[in-house]
Structure 1
Amino acid sequence: MSKFHSIALFFLIFFSYTVYSQKKTLQAKSITGNITIDGKINEEIWKTESVATDFIMFEPDNGRPISNDKKTEVKVLYDNDAIYISALLYDNEPEKIQREITKRDVFGVSDHFSVYINGFNDGQQDFRFFVSAAGVQMDCLATEDLEDFTWDAIWDSEATVTEFGWVVEMKIPYAALRFSKADKQTWGLNFMREIKRDVQKYTWNRIDTKIGAVIPQAGILQGIESIQTPTRLFLIPYSSAYYQQSDIGSDMTLKAGLDIKYGINDSFTLDAILVPDFGQTKFDNAVLYLEPFEQQFAENRPFFTEGTDLFSKGGLFYSRRIGGSPILEQEILEYQLSPNQEISNFPSTVDVLNAVKISGRNEKGLGIGFLNAVTEKTYATIRDNNSNTTLKEVIQPLTNYNMLVLDQRFNQNSSVSFVNANTTRNGGFRDANVSALLFDLNTKANKYNLSGDFKYSAINDFKDYNGFKASLNFAKTSGRYRYLFSGKYISENYDINDLGIIFYTNYHAALANGSYRILNPTKIFNTLKIEQELNLEIHNITGKIQEGWYKTVVKATSLNNDYFELGIVTNPLETFDFYEPREYGRYVYIPKRIASYFGFELNRNNALTFDMTPSFTKYDEKGRFNYGVYASPKYRFNDKLSLAYALEYTNMKNDRGWVDSNDSGIVFTERNREIVQNDLTGKYSLNNKMTINLTARYYWSYSKNHEFFTLQNNGYLTPNSTYSENKDRNFNSWNFDLSYSWWFAPGSEISILYRNYGLERASVVEKDLSKNLKSILNSDLTNVLSISIRYFIDYNAVKNKF
């Protein structure tokens, strides 16, 4: 190569890097006329010279320009009410555009167009709006840590497939965004286009995957000036009716309530629910739970899932505490009763009276989140068999829950936060207060990260106690090779379980993680990531190892877009469990072990796809091992109808665990366990606003004891030949939900739900699966039919009409 060609090549590479590293700028055009959101873009006012084009591939082949036959052109207009976005998405094979119809916030097998908006241009948080080629909306709040799709905004969109590709038209009201009060706005902006059949994503401003942070790599939107934003006040009244029937009898319930959303200013929003109704939320997956801790459930109630990203900071907020189980457990109350008394009614949950939250972020990067909820005083009913009378016992007093989060962001990609969680119970019941200081610091180029926290808990009970937790983490977050070093200390009395959830305390730990990934496809893989991790946890008081593993995980996507994952976890050291004995100061030996799994999922674009994950764990103990498999075929009949079935099977041979505590000591058992879970889900979309959904789950599990042991003070087990109580378990659970949902207007929904469920517990093990299924279906199943109507009212629309 000549010297001239070398110099030319150097400048070409340098120029290309400079172009890709620069932020693109788009000018928004002010309008006064009306735009009909119909996906046609035929209004004269769309004729503007400022166009976002020249998209660049985000993944898998990062940095490759989009081909001319897939060119994309986007324009932005605005007025005092909203911004308007049009996108022409060219495709030389429009008949191959994927457009599965799904319910809102479900991506499915579809092409997508999306806009990412950061009203403060601070590189910290995006408001993201997606439209599929089938016209389905998705939206989320996004930080570098998570995309929160539980957040739902009210906006308008339409998509149409044409002979040259497809078209998207969007109207996003300012009420759905947050931005500064400046007369001249400068927003962070990016557009993304997903071509599903090729499993490719393109962005307008290039996102370099060598850099760990995505949001700071947005382009710039300018031109929005002197807007007079309307009052952000929205009312969502609802009414619902429930009819419940079982062998015991039937009853009918009517409910009505109101949700309020009020924009305090352009940055902060108040959300309130009065007389909440959570009757149509997804059912909890009940299981045969033999662990020493409570079962943790996912949050399904909309108020506690929508826009709660701020409250997740610090990990102090477990929203299922609000309206969860009473603080006084049924077993403890039974222990306190006299021989002639019995509990005739013990509510399993506590009703929420009202809840309110305020959240947002101002132009200086200060995020504020405040949540308050009040639950009602709850009683158990006790019957005196001698006098044939009843009395009430308080199992949960009137309780007030508060969360406060202050999160200051700076330098585009760093933050310092203060979090406080407070639980106050009326009367002489337990109170709790937990505070946390967090920091997350990134270098300007997003190559390195330093983060950590300090948390302090104070509990006021019959015996007050305090505790703390501290951690420090350093990571390289860019390039092919990345690493993380982490250390933490948790004191014995650190307790966040009044409004948060934590299982393991009283230990110190160190963790090291290293990973390698490809940034562009090879001749074999579209994506590849290899991760190694070493973790060690040591009990503070005894110095014994609580946890110690070495883990290897390989994740890859083939050129055919099939996904594979292999994991191997070895525990080469003897460890000790300080919780399974259910008694303070005691612990039990856990043998060395090795676990592995291999999972694969065929290309999701196929009409018939299948994923499967077999797993195996072997203990350094004679005859003790676990094996299992997860398998799920899915079939998409057409763009409207799809069905998926999932089978999860686990078999634990000679498993060991706590079974009882009595005068002779702590009794453990050696047992065989099997778990079978079947899930069937189906969807039929009449259109992109109307969907019928099916969710059915059958779960069966048993635990069969065959040998008993006594736990010694040194943590080891010795045979116990005298224990003879029947502690076998057989557990059946059935759930069936069939629902119809119609979004008949923006933010307004009619939903009809038929629910059928039942649960059986027994101390006699039946190993025939068909007999168990027949038993639960013939049991006293509960049937519920409910209808709910929610109507969205925009104060500005009502005001204009009057």
Structure 2
Amino acid sequence: MNLKLSLLLSFICTSVAFTQESVSPELPKTAEKKTLNVLRTDLSATIDGKLDEPFWNTAQTATDFIMFQPDNGKPELETEKTIVRVAYDNEGIYIGAELHQSREDLLKEITQRDNFGTSDHFGIFLNGYNDGQQDFRLIVSAAGTQMDCIATQENGEDYSWDGIWYSAVKLTDFGWVVEMKIPYAAIRFSQKDKQIWGVNFFREVRYKKQKYAWNKIDANIGNIMQQAGILTGIENIKPPTRLFLIPYASGYVNQNKDGAETTIKGGMDIKYGINDSFTLDAILVPDFGQTAFDNRILNLGPFEQQLNENRGFFTEGTDLFNKGGLFYSRRIGSRPSGKITLKENEQVQGEPSAINLLNAIKISGRTSKGLGIGILNAVTEKTDVPIINTVTGETRNEVVEPLANYNVLVFDQRFRKNSSVSFVNTNVTRNGSFRDANVSALLFDLNTKANTYKLSGNIKYNHINDSEDKNGYSTNMSVAKTFGKYRFNGGGNYVSKDYNINDLGINFTNNYYNVYGNFSYRILNPSKTFNTFYYNANSTFEWQNETGRLQNAWIGTSISFSNKKNDDFGIGLDFNPIETYDFYQPRKAGRFVYRPKNYGGWGYISTNYNNPVAFDLNPYFYIYDQTKRNSYGFNAGPRFRFSDKLFLSYGFNFARDNNDKGYVDETATDIIFANRNVTTIENSVSGKYAINSQMTFNVKVRYYWSYSEIKNYLTLLEDGYFAPNTTYNQNNNDNFKSWNYDLSYTWWFAPGSQVSVLYRNNAIHYEQRLNKNIIDNLAHTLQNDLNQTISVSVKYLIDYNKAKNWL
């Protein structure tokens, strides 16, 4: 076992060394940073997109933008010149941008906030500490829509963050103009008398799908934030009191087969800047009634379905808490953790599907020395269920979830502007004799000074306090080349048998070790045929710890590119050339089932979204070394942009698994599998009508239907193979349907303040009766399980800096 691991690691290291010497011997040269000096003004500015205040005429200009994508390093055209000016006062900084372009080529689709759509864009990337570690990115479309995010090298762009800032757009005879005001309360910076900020200005010329930056971004180097320019001249400003109160009120009318129910809720969110570095977020009496619906599926595998987080508190500004992959916020307020013990003749009267969240807080920020600290704490309420004796009529309550506390603690020390060492701890404490859990991790991410090579890794340890205490650990190490046309990474993992982070995280597999490698090639400038071209090859080999059996052997290769018309294409091939063993599907310790050799492929076509009508297609297939076993399917759908205000898209997904071998049951003597055919059909529609950039109507519809048809039953043998089973006669066919329809109206009537009206009807229905008619299944679902809700929610942001003047 150790010999295999050593040989594979040696192979990766040898490949790394070879690639360094033979493919990319030259390191990229660091370009000189541009500097812009900011003008101080004592005049108040009206954010109207006109740039008619006198100080705009004397402010220093930022010009000569350079293309970032696709033709990296190419100067902007004189006919599409960009001129940016920056000023500041005691409240914030002002940005005025003139963007030259033919009006006929200007694209300006109106969308909701943070939705880029089909539009031209201008933005500013700000780093108040000039440490190359974190950007506040604020972007405006030609239609006036705001997009904003917090960007880090580790987690990319987090658009769940919504800052409070102001912007206006005006179309002109030479193109368009953007005017912005960014209050100091919206960003972070030190308390020094003289500020030096990192800055870059961004522009997208959408009709050509070209992106530009003021300070050159070299595509040879993977770290964009290290390639910002310098903003100087801001002096003697004071970070304001960052206190925002966001009270809300909402009402719900819900109707289903059990009758109608009306609910009124009220509460408040609080955002408070503890100092210039750290922010406290708190929710008092939370309300998540208007969050997006979950895309539930028929799950026949051994692992739970991982769902997206749609609650704003757990998505906004959580980059610190996501370090190490230990935090899965859907655990907070999920299904009860306790098991119900029923006595003779007892049955449960309505088990809850979720636990109420009482309150939650998070504190996060980063000091001027680069130390990031994050603390998240949430409390869920004690929940019990009524149990009735069907003979005597007596009832009793049993606790299925006690009062529980969830906590995440993160320390992340950044240094040398591009590296970090982190400590993460998650803890779940449940009252009484219920299960407690604690997980800790040490992480490191080390980059060379020129951002050319990376060494990263971690070690994680968990302790579970249950009926039997368990301790587990996981460790990872990888090395990567992160610059140039040719790049690679390789590494390995070891995960112990008792590694388990699932009380506050999510992890599906344990008790294995593996090695993996990846090699990629890309063009940095367009060729005669391609605007972009990317090749990727990767592989993974994985062994079960105790038996040494190979449980994963995968090799994949893919090509993706865009043509001169900006249509996107891709194709890939996957190979599993060795018979492997699955230790998870049998759902029983020590048992496994063999997986046959297989190969498959996929592809995609996505036509240029700039066109009023575009189309996406994504087919795939897999063929197994097992009699008549195969899988195939496709996703497809058109997109219609009828005007800048009206948009509609349709998606169709079809999947078919023939002669799939899957677990269905366990008897006193056998583990029962089935030879089955699984069919999935999904239809979805989404659309919007935008009155303006603050007011939109939106619709989302999804009908998902999946059924599994048993052909015959199999008994799993000790060696992982099957024998026919002719005695098992239970009905294990599956027929699952999920329907969701959301129609909403949203009005951002002031910065951070919103009115939302939602009509929702939804239904989830599962049965073991097979019916292969899609319309009959939908009708049956709507007749039996339809739930309808109308809700209205109003939230209003109160800024302390303005509210104090009211008094």
The answer to whether TM tops 0.5 is: yes
3-state DSSP of counterpart to 1:779: helix
1:338 Cα deviation after fit: 2.1
Contact 2:543 2:551 in 1 (8 A): yes
Gaps of 5+ in 2: 1-27
Instruction: Tell me which residue corresponds to 1:782.
Output: 787
Contact 1:179 1:362 in 2 (8 A): no
Instruction: Tell me which residue corresponds to 1:112.
Output: 121
Alignment of 1:237-386 (within 5 A): 237-328=247-338, 332-333=339-340, 336-386=341-391
Is the aligned partner of 1:177 residue 2:182? no
Instruction: Tell me which residue corresponds to 2:431.
Output: 426
Is the aligned partner of 1:189 residue 2:204? no
Measured against aligned partners, the alpha-carbon deviations of 1:642-672 in whole angstroms (never above 9, x if no partner) come to 1000001001100011000011210000001
Q: After the TM superposition, which of the residue ranges 43-52 and 657-666 deviates more from structure 2?
A: 43-52
3-state DSSP of counterpart to 1:272: strand
Percent identity, please. Answer: 54
- CA distance in 1 between counterparts of 2:724 and 2:49 reads 74
Letter of the 1:792 counterpart:
L
1:416 Cα deviation after fit: 0.6
- CA distance in 2 between counterparts of 1:673 and 1:229 reads 59
Equivalent in 208, 230, 237 of residue 198 of structure 1: 208
Measured against aligned partners, the alpha-carbon deviations of 1:743-777 in whole angstroms (never above 9, x if no partner) come to 00110000000000112111111111122122223
Instruction: Tell me which residue corresponds to 2:21.
Output: none
Instruction: Tell me which residue corresponds to 1:649.
Output: 654
Is the aligned partner of 1:610 residue 2:615? yes
Measured against aligned partners, the alpha-carbon deviations of 1:545-595 in whole angstroms (never above 9, x if no partner) come to 111100001111111100011111100011111111011111111101112
- CA distance in 1 between counterparts of 2:449 and 2:85 reads 31
Alignment of 1:489-500 (within 5 A): 489-500=494-505
Contact 1:80 1:229 in 2 (8 A): no
- CA distance in 1 between counterparts of 2:394 and 2:39 reads 76
- CA distance in 1 between counterparts of 2:573 and 2:280 reads 47
Alignment of 1:251-650 (within 5 A): 251-328=261-338, 332-333=339-340, 336-650=341-655
Instruction: Tell me which residue corresponds to 1:163.
Output: 173
1:778 Cα deviation after fit: 3.0
Contact 2:191 2:238 in 1 (8 A): no
3-state DSSP of counterpart to 2:62: coil
- CA distance in 1 between counterparts of 2:165 and 2:304 reads 40
- CA distance in 2 between counterparts of 1:147 and 1:613 reads 26
- CA distance in 2 between counterparts of 1:320 and 1:279 reads 15
Contact 1:468 1:494 in 2 (8 A): yes
Is the aligned partner of 1:131 residue 2:140? yes
3-state DSSP of counterpart to 2:117: coil
3-state DSSP of counterpart to 2:51: coil
- CA distance in 2 between counterparts of 1:30 and 1:550 reads 58
Contact 2:59 2:87 in 1 (8 A): no
Contact 2:387 2:398 in 1 (8 A): yes
- CA distance in 1 between counterparts of 2:731 and 2:325 reads 40
Instruction: Tell me which residue corresponds to 1:721.
Output: 726
3-state DSSP of counterpart to 2:458: strand
1:46 Cα deviation after fit: 1.4
Alignment of 1:676-755 (within 5 A): 676-755=681-760
- CA distance in 1 between counterparts of 2:457 and 2:279 reads 29
- CA distance in 1 between counterparts of 2:676 and 2:401 reads 36
Contact 2:494 2:514 in 1 (8 A): yes
1:75 Cα deviation after fit: 1.0
- CA distance in 1 between counterparts of 2:560 and 2:224 reads 21
Contact 2:456 2:478 in 1 (8 A): yes
1:143 Cα deviation after fit: 1.1
Letter of the 2:148 counterpart:
D
Q: After the TM superposition, which of the residue ranges 103-112 and 778-787 deviates more from structure 2?
A: 778-787
3-state DSSP of counterpart to 2:778: helix
- CA distance in 1 between counterparts of 2:382 and 2:169 reads 50
Instruction: Tell me which residue corresponds to 1:792.
Output: 797
- CA distance in 1 between counterparts of 2:59 and 2:401 reads 64
1:49 Cα deviation after fit: 4.3
TM-score (norm 2): 0.96
Measured against aligned partners, the alpha-carbon deviations of 1:229-286 in whole angstroms (never above 9, x if no partner) come to 2211000000000000112100100000000000001111000000000000001111
Equivalent in 91, 95, 98 of residue 88 of structure 1: 98
Equivalent in 139, 143, 159 of residue 152 of structure 2: 143
Contact 2:59 2:86 in 1 (8 A): no
Contact 2:765 2:785 in 1 (8 A): no
Instruction: Tell me which residue corresponds to 2:768.
Output: 763
Letter of the 1:439 counterpart:
F
Contact 1:587 1:715 in 2 (8 A): yes
Is the aligned partner of 1:78 residue 2:83? no
1:53 Cα deviation after fit: 0.4
Letter of the 1:274 counterpart:
L
RMSD: 1.0
1:86 Cα deviation after fit: 0.6
Measured against aligned partners, the alpha-carbon deviations of 1:160-187 in whole angstroms (never above 9, x if no partner) come to 1111010000011111111111111111
Contact 1:60 1:520 in 2 (8 A): yes
- CA distance in 2 between counterparts of 1:776 and 1:161 reads 50
TM-score (norm 1): 0.96
Q: After the TM superposition, which of the residue ranges 758-767 and 197-206 deviates more from structure 2?
A: 758-767
Shift >4 Å, 4+ stretches:
none
3-state DSSP of counterpart to 1:797: helix
Contact 1:576 1:715 in 2 (8 A): yes
- CA distance in 2 between counterparts of 1:659 and 1:553 reads 35
Instruction: Tell me which residue corresponds to 2:25.
Output: none
- CA distance in 1 between counterparts of 2:405 and 2:144 reads 42
- CA distance in 1 between counterparts of 2:250 and 2:727 reads 57
3-state DSSP of counterpart to 1:433: strand
- CA distance in 2 between counterparts of 1:449 and 1:311 reads 22
1:194 Cα deviation after fit: 0.1
- CA distance in 2 between counterparts of 1:474 and 1:230 reads 43
Gaps of 5+ in 1: 1-16
3-state DSSP of counterpart to 2:293: coil
- CA distance in 1 between counterparts of 2:782 and 2:390 reads 34
- CA distance in 2 between counterparts of 1:80 and 1:469 reads 50
1:381 Cα deviation after fit: 1.4
Contact 1:617 1:625 in 2 (8 A): yes
3-state DSSP of counterpart to 2:459: strand
Contact 1:178 1:361 in 2 (8 A): no
- CA distance in 2 between counterparts of 1:662 and 1:480 reads 56
- CA distance in 1 between counterparts of 2:620 and 2:268 reads 48
3-state DSSP of counterpart to 1:670: strand
3-state DSSP of counterpart to 2:297: coil
Instruction: Tell me which residue corresponds to 2:778.
Output: 773
Contact 1:30 1:77 in 2 (8 A): yes
1:387 Cα deviation after fit: 1.9
Letter of the 1:698 counterpart:
Y
3-state DSSP of counterpart to 2:129: coil
